[in-house]
Structure 1
Amino acid sequence: MPWQRRSKLLCASLVALGIGATVASADGCKAPEDPPYVEQREPCSDHNPLRNVYFGDLHVHTSYSFDAYNNDVRVDPFGAYAYARGQTVQLPDAAGIGVREATIDRPLDFAAVTDHGEYLGEVAACVDPDSPAYDTELCAGLRAGDPAVMAQWGLELGASNPVRSPIICDLVDCGGYLGDAWARTQAAAEEAYDRSASCSFTSFVAYEWSGATKLSNLHRNVIFRSEVVPSVPATHFEDPTSWELWRSLKSGCIDAGGSLNGCDVLAIPHNTNWSNGNMFIAEYPEDPAISGGDTQLELAKLRAELEPIMEVYQHKGDSECMNGVSGILGEPDELCEFEKLRQGEFEDCGDGTGMQGMVNGGCVSRLDFARGILLEGLSEQARLGVNPYKLGLMASTDTHNGTPGAVDEAAYLGHFGSAEGDANLRLTGAVPGGPMDSPGGLIAVWAEENSRGAIFDAMRRRETYGTSGPRMAVRLFGGWGYAEDACASPSLVEQGYAEGVPMGGDLPARAEDDGDAPRFMVQAFKDAGTEASPGHDLERVQIIKGWVDGEGQRHVQVYEVAGEPGDASVDPSTCETSGSGSASLCSVWQDPDFEASQSAWYYARVVEVPTCRWSTRDCNALAAAGEELPSACEVYPDVIQERAWTSPIWYTPE
């Protein structure tokens, strides 16, 4: 069926589903003359002024992404949202046959499908039998799972001037196919969104901008607040730099009028651990075509507006911290060794940048990790008067199976379809990190209700945290006058908001009767888990402080504030646990090293007791079946300690 005809039918379906931003036309989808509604729905029955915690996944690829389809994944956006709500999907085995059943242990509260905007149209053309490009060697290779196709398209995204595939786009209208796939993406999000009073599930219209210049990762997930979105996504082909992406989102959504009244959007950078320092280098474009003639101050404000949070963890590793990088003073942090794709010695970028991080190459920078980025923000604030890196923290999976929230270590099925279709492939493969990949994490938000507006606004104000998978409930408040015994108070949360700020906020000005140093209240409850798979105890809570001294030196210090390493352990040969930690931990902590003249930030890290890593479970299963064990079973960690990272709270001298 020609794309124009399909597009008309899709637009009619969108209107029937209640998306007021599109109507059927001879040219596909176009906006009506009257502005569409924004968030038309019943009031949520779970509305809570003191905010509830909701768990979600905002980094999800389906069969619409070229690298997922190339690995035999056929779960589309509709199927991905069904999985997030508790339904079963079929994943391919090592032979590419969809026979592996996957079901989430607990439905998520919210999710976003974030297929690559790049090649979204090309994939749609390649799988359409009526497309003139269908029988090209490139399209046939994509459908057959030829890894050379994924490599070719991935490498083309690393070019200085990336372009759409001429092999396909010279034969078909790639823009039309892009609009078609984007319309289906919107339809899937709308179908999944619960607009009733029960507010059981929230979906977001979203996509991934996949910039990868010189094979350094620059990717962002673009999340829209409502169903009011541009007609097509802004991709790396039209906007080849992050600055151009932000300008496009600002002008094409936030500042747009007419049918896009009410459009709002944010971008979430991810996998900074693969960026060779490029994603957060403090450089500003001098080209007026990119900068728009704005000053560095105006550009810093633009970045801060569009990127309020960053992904600190996902299946391609941890981006919190890295021992041994230059430019940060402080003692080594043993917990920074958690889930690192880069192992052993590495070249340090220093104050420069490198390339080829996406293939685990090039130098490693302090700006590849949240602590270095947050510290750079303090330096930029001192220089410009605005902090372009005032970033909250979150986590997600980056699944390429269409399985949002598939984070259970004991049920890990991989992330790349047939490339990880059995235990041996997961333990020996190289897509992208093989046995060093993880199931990924979840984003948690504190919001008044489970609706698009409430969750988006929580992300905008950075009242978010990330976990490596468990659904532990974590609060962090900062102020000056919290009582030392506040943990015993039933009104801890009320006091937290009334007398200070939550995670993601700025410490209020100090009153005359306040203490000499700020106090932080942190409260954490273990993940209860399920009847079949109970959650694990908490071991300890830490507060990590970062500051820049009067000479411009960057510092980090880790403080133990609740709990401690105890007798809890795990037997890797059986994955049986022994000993115990705590079901909950709480502390009111005052900074003993506070200097009123130094800008600083503080975030909490909550750590579980040790448990078996997924790779250990796969190795044990192979051993029980009498199979030869791959070398990964001797090399990689047996045990992990799952954790959560809160968004920081910032202090700025008066």
Structure 2
Amino acid sequence: MKFASIAGSAIFAASVASAQYVPSVESLEGVYKGKTYSPYAKRDFPSNVYWGDTHLHTALSPDAGLFGNTLGLEEAYRFNRGEEVVSATGLPVRLARPLDFLVVTDHSDMMGFATDLAKGAPNILATEQGKRWYEGLQAGGEESANAALDLITNFSQGTLDPKLVADYAPGSPAYDSVWQSVIDAAEKYNDPGNFTAFIGFEWTSLVKGNNLHRNVILRDGAFRARQVVPMVTQPPIGSTDPLDLYAWLDKYESGTGGQALAIAHNGNLSNGLMFPFDAQYTGKPVDENYVQLRAKWEPLYETTQIKGDGEAHPFLSPDDEFADYETWDAGNLDLTEAKTPEMLKHEYARSALLMGLQLESKLGTNPYKFGQVGSTDAHNSLSAIEEENFFSKAPSAEPSPTRMHHPFTKTEIGAFEGYELTASGRAAVWATENTREALFDAMERKETYATTGPRMMVRFFGGWEFTDDDLRSRNPAFAGYEKGVPMGGDLTQPTGDAPTFMVYALRDPIGANLDRIQIVKGWMDANGETQERVYDVAWSDGREPDAEGKLPPVGNTVDLEAATWTNTIGASELATIWTDPDFDASQKAFYYARVLEIPTPRWVVYDALRFGVEIPEEAEKTGQERAYTSPIWYTPAG
């Protein structure tokens, strides 16, 4: 009886305590930022970053098939969600960590051609081009790669055999069958909450070798995707004009009730055409119609990938010591035209962001107000771009003792050397959940960032009220969303005070420590001229800037013989509140964060160790992997 009495008293006491002392949600308003005791309840902002690739090709792409890729849609999805597969060159391969989402973007032109070419279809062998490419494919190796490059050149010059174009155009049985298989595979592997498979394609505008490609991503599933066929570029029904792609996107949305967006890539291979200022390549002016449509349909830009990094160029940013990173500037995509200095301004993300400020003042809309992502553009179905697990662009450049010693592309103009292929990149998306809808919506609002491969976690917020106290919490995002805007946002508060920015980064859990965080600012001065500056805002190891404000290098722990490094320098996390010391409230500006790791080995070092070969003298052996956030824009009041 004594036991029962004690138990009863305890139950009574607990119920009284519950009735008297459990706080309500309302009672926590203004007291606790999470609004409830649990900081994970009642919050509606994105709390997860999802990793993916918005640009991957399978054997269905004509050039990928000619390069020797035999892996189709099934292998691409299985591999990139974490399974082991065998590459087209017979090597077992697996990702260190699976992706969260994937967009298979096979070329929209000539769908079905690659499959039939591999089979030696009679209609293909009946043409001189088809027979030549088939023989190159059967020979394999360098001959197969040369056949692929020949196809690309004929494609870009508009000299494809008209019969081949007609046999594999939208409306043909071969084309329509392949498009349905693309939809079916995405539906099969789309697993909301676990793995997202988007339906998409690459619109491959290639004007005389100058890259104007866009990847198209649909927010929707099979019901809407089956109501359309992709936009193509080859005549008589296709077009290489981006304005015609925007018309296709508009027709898709109005006709199906769905949503779509486009992502441009590799402006560094466009020879000055990717970001026009006065006139488009067609001769049409960059007018109000152009800037409005581009701003509407292209919320993101692919800043980094296997064919070079496209954030900045040392010619354009001579004061930026980190601007010359994985630079490809020999010429256009197929090296049929050499690069000249005046082209560069119209090819790189930072210079485009700057021109966007000027175009907004001139035409009322900023066409280059884009967020940033990275992706691979791999043509072997494998999004394997870790430096130690680099399966490169195509089967012809998959791991072998000779791949770094042979040019990937070479003409009389110049060469893209094998060792120049870049192990990059990844798209990071801050979203509420891993679904098509949530990820697409995050891309639309530009809450994304690009990395060259590592999965460092980066947050970037802008506002006017951030203080050091906001970083004392292990959940600073509460203050970030409450007091300001995230990456991709706009600062619109009418104030003359300088904005404050909260930025923090955590290293990749299995990667290298962090060297520093920088904020890149671009602005338009009173004379309408654009300016830029890179600020070191947080750094590791207690270094001090010199008299000129330059931060000493972090050091280098790379062991080239062992193909490794140590995390005895750098920091596992960096964070700061930064106020622009050069702010002028009357000047339009943008800000984005760049996060640098400590030096680590490039993929050529791993190849040298595993194959026992020498690295070409000209090849870079180490690099500082990095992340680029989407910008935050400031516009003066009024």
User: Which residue is equivalent to 1:570?
Assistant: 558
Per-residue CA deviation, residues 139-172 of structure 1 (Å, 9 max, x unaligned), is 453442444532332113323xx37632435667
Per-residue CA deviation, residues 367-387 of structure 1 (Å, 9 max, x unaligned), is 211110000000000101111
Question: How far is the alpha carbon of 1:113 from its aligned partner?
Answer: 0.5
Structure 1 residues 125 and 396: alpha-carbon distance in aligned structure 2, compared to 1, 3 A threshold: same
Question: How far is the alpha carbon of 1:491 from its aligned partner?
Answer: 4.3
**1:643 is aligned to 2:637:** no
The question of whether the paired residues in 2 share the 8 Å contact of 1:157 and 1:213 is answered with no
Return the match for 1:225 from 194, 215, 219: 219
User: Which residue is equivalent to 2:180?
Assistant: 183
DSSP-derived class of the 1:133 partner: helix
The question of whether the paired residues in 1 share the 8 Å contact of 2:303 and 2:373 is answered with yes
Counterpart-to-counterpart distance in 2, 1:231 and 1:174: 10
User: Which residue is equivalent to 2:249?
Assistant: 249
User: Which residue is equivalent to 2:320?
Assistant: 333
Structure 1 residues 566 and 323: alpha-carbon distance in aligned structure 2, compared to 1, 3 A threshold: closer
TM-score w.r.t. the length of structure 1 is: 0.81
Per-residue CA deviation, residues 332-355 of structure 1 (Å, 9 max, x unaligned), is 211111111237xxxxxxxxxx96
The question of whether the paired residues in 2 share the 8 Å contact of 1:538 and 1:583 is answered with yes
Q: What does residue range 120-199 of structure 1 map to in structure 2 within 5 Å?
A: 120-127=111-118, 132-133=123-124, 136=127, 138-140=129-131, 141-142=133-134, 143-144=137-138, 145=140, 146-159=144-157, 162=158, 165-169=161-165, 175-176=171-172, 177-195=174-192, 199=193
**1:323 is aligned to 2:321:** no
User: Which residue is equivalent to 1:9?
Assistant: none
Counterpart-to-counterpart distance in 1, 2:82 and 2:59: 19
Q: What letter matches 1:264 in structure 2? A: Q
Q: What letter matches 1:602 in structure 2? A: Y
DSSP-derived class of the 1:397 partner: coil
Q: What letter matches 2:82 in structure 1? A: G
Counterpart-to-counterpart distance in 2, 1:433 and 1:311: 22
User: Which residue is equivalent to 1:306?
Assistant: 297
Q: What does residue range 618-633 of structure 1 map to in structure 2 within 5 Å?
A: 618-623=607-612, 627=613, 629=614, 632-633=615-616
The question of whether the paired residues in 2 share the 8 Å contact of 1:342 and 1:360 is answered with no
Structure 1 residues 359 and 335: alpha-carbon distance in aligned structure 2, compared to 1, 3 A threshold: farther
Question: How far is the alpha carbon of 1:247 from its aligned partner?
Answer: 1.4
Counterpart-to-counterpart distance in 2, 1:593 and 1:369: 24
Structure 1 residues 270 and 433: alpha-carbon distance in aligned structure 2, compared to 1, 3 A threshold: farther
DSSP-derived class of the 2:87 partner: strand
Structure 1 residues 125 and 380: alpha-carbon distance in aligned structure 2, compared to 1, 3 A threshold: same
Per-residue CA deviation, residues 453-494 of structure 1 (Å, 9 max, x unaligned), is 110011111000000000111000000111133211244111
DSSP-derived class of the 1:425 partner: coil
Question: How far is the alpha carbon of 1:268 from its aligned partner?
Answer: 0.5
**1:462 is aligned to 2:457:** no
The question of whether the paired residues in 2 share the 8 Å contact of 1:567 and 1:580 is answered with yes
Counterpart-to-counterpart distance in 2, 1:545 and 1:287: 32
Counterpart-to-counterpart distance in 2, 1:394 and 1:497: 21
Question: How far is the alpha carbon of 1:322 from its aligned partner?
Answer: 0.5
Counterpart-to-counterpart distance in 1, 2:626 and 2:145: 34
Counterpart-to-counterpart distance in 2, 1:171 and 1:597: 58
User: Which residue is equivalent to 2:478?
Assistant: 494
Counterpart-to-counterpart distance in 1, 2:347 and 2:428: 23
User: Which residue is equivalent to 1:526?
Assistant: 507
User: Which residue is equivalent to 2:100?
Assistant: 109
DSSP-derived class of the 1:543 partner: strand
Structure 1 residues 374 and 112: alpha-carbon distance in aligned structure 2, compared to 1, 3 A threshold: same
Q: What does residue range 212-611 of structure 1 map to in structure 2 within 5 Å?
A: 212-227=206-221, 228-229=224-225, 230-237=227-234, 238-251=238-251, 253-256=252-255, 260-261=256-257, 263-283=258-278, 296-325=287-316, 332-342=319-329, 358=335, 361-363=338-340, 364-404=343-383, 406-431=384-409, 433-510=417-494, 516-529=497-510, 535-564=511-540, 565-578=553-566, 579-611=568-600
Counterpart-to-counterpart distance in 1, 2:42 and 2:338: 48
The question of whether the paired residues in 1 share the 8 Å contact of 2:446 and 2:488 is answered with yes
The question of whether the paired residues in 1 share the 8 Å contact of 2:111 and 2:169 is answered with no
Q: What letter matches 1:270 in structure 2? A: H
Q: What letter matches 1:636 in structure 2? A: A
Question: How far is the alpha carbon of 1:306 from its aligned partner?
Answer: 0.5
Counterpart-to-counterpart distance in 2, 1:201 and 1:570: 35
Question: How far is the alpha carbon of 1:122 from its aligned partner?
Answer: 2.5
User: Which residue is equivalent to 2:35?
Assistant: none
Structure 1 residues 164 and 122: alpha-carbon distance in aligned structure 2, compared to 1, 3 A threshold: farther
Counterpart-to-counterpart distance in 1, 2:114 and 2:602: 35
Question: How far is the alpha carbon of 1:573 from its aligned partner?
Answer: 2.5
Moved more, 55-64 or 208-217: 208-217
Counterpart-to-counterpart distance in 1, 2:485 and 2:310: 25
Structure 1 residues 407 and 91: alpha-carbon distance in aligned structure 2, compared to 1, 3 A threshold: same
Structure 1 residues 313 and 386: alpha-carbon distance in aligned structure 2, compared to 1, 3 A threshold: same
Question: How far is the alpha carbon of 1:516 from its aligned partner?
Answer: 1.4
Question: How far is the alpha carbon of 1:286 from its aligned partner?
Answer: 11
Counterpart-to-counterpart distance in 1, 2:337 and 2:560: 28
| Structure of higher CA gyration radius | 2
Give the percent of matched residue pairs that are identical in Structure 1 and Structure 2.
36
Counterpart-to-counterpart distance in 1, 2:555 and 2:248: 54
Q: What letter matches 2:350 in structure 1? A: R
Return the match for 1:89 from 72, 81, 85: 85
Structure 1 residues 169 and 274: alpha-carbon distance in aligned structure 2, compared to 1, 3 A threshold: closer
Q: What does residue range 36-47 of structure 1 map to in structure 2 within 5 Å?
A: none
User: Which residue is equivalent to 1:66?
Assistant: 62
The question of whether the paired residues in 1 share the 8 Å contact of 2:64 and 2:148 is answered with no
Q: What letter matches 2:486 in structure 1? A: P
User: Which residue is equivalent to 2:11?
Assistant: none
The question of whether the paired residues in 2 share the 8 Å contact of 1:568 and 1:581 is answered with no
Q: What letter matches 1:102 in structure 2? A: V
Q: What letter matches 2:557 in structure 1? A: S
Question: How far is the alpha carbon of 1:638 from its aligned partner?
Answer: 1.1
Question: How far is the alpha carbon of 1:524 from its aligned partner?
Answer: 0.5
User: Which residue is equivalent to 1:28?
Assistant: none
Counterpart-to-counterpart distance in 2, 1:571 and 1:107: 28
DSSP-derived class of the 1:426 partner: coil
Q: What letter matches 2:435 in structure 1? A: S
Structure 1 residues 611 and 551: alpha-carbon distance in aligned structure 2, compared to 1, 3 A threshold: same
User: Which residue is equivalent to 1:3?
Assistant: none
DSSP-derived class of the 1:334 partner: coil
Counterpart-to-counterpart distance in 2, 1:305 and 1:152: 35
Moved more, 465-474 or 548-557: 548-557
Structure 1 residues 586 and 613: alpha-carbon distance in aligned structure 2, compared to 1, 3 A threshold: same
Counterpart-to-counterpart distance in 2, 1:589 and 1:241: 42
DSSP-derived class of the 1:280 partner: coil
The question of whether the paired residues in 2 share the 8 Å contact of 1:541 and 1:604 is answered with yes
Counterpart-to-counterpart distance in 1, 2:118 and 2:334: 31
Per-residue CA deviation, residues 567-590 of structure 1 (Å, 9 max, x unaligned), is 452122223324221111111000
The question of whether the paired residues in 2 share the 8 Å contact of 1:131 and 1:172 is answered with no
**1:205 is aligned to 2:196:** no
Structure 2 gaps of 5+ residues are: 1-40, 410-415, 541-552
- Count of aligned pairs: 562
The question of whether the paired residues in 1 share the 8 Å contact of 2:294 and 2:367 is answered with yes
Counterpart-to-counterpart distance in 1, 2:516 and 2:437: 34
Structure 1 residues 572 and 220: alpha-carbon distance in aligned structure 2, compared to 1, 3 A threshold: same
Q: What letter matches 1:452 in structure 2? A: R
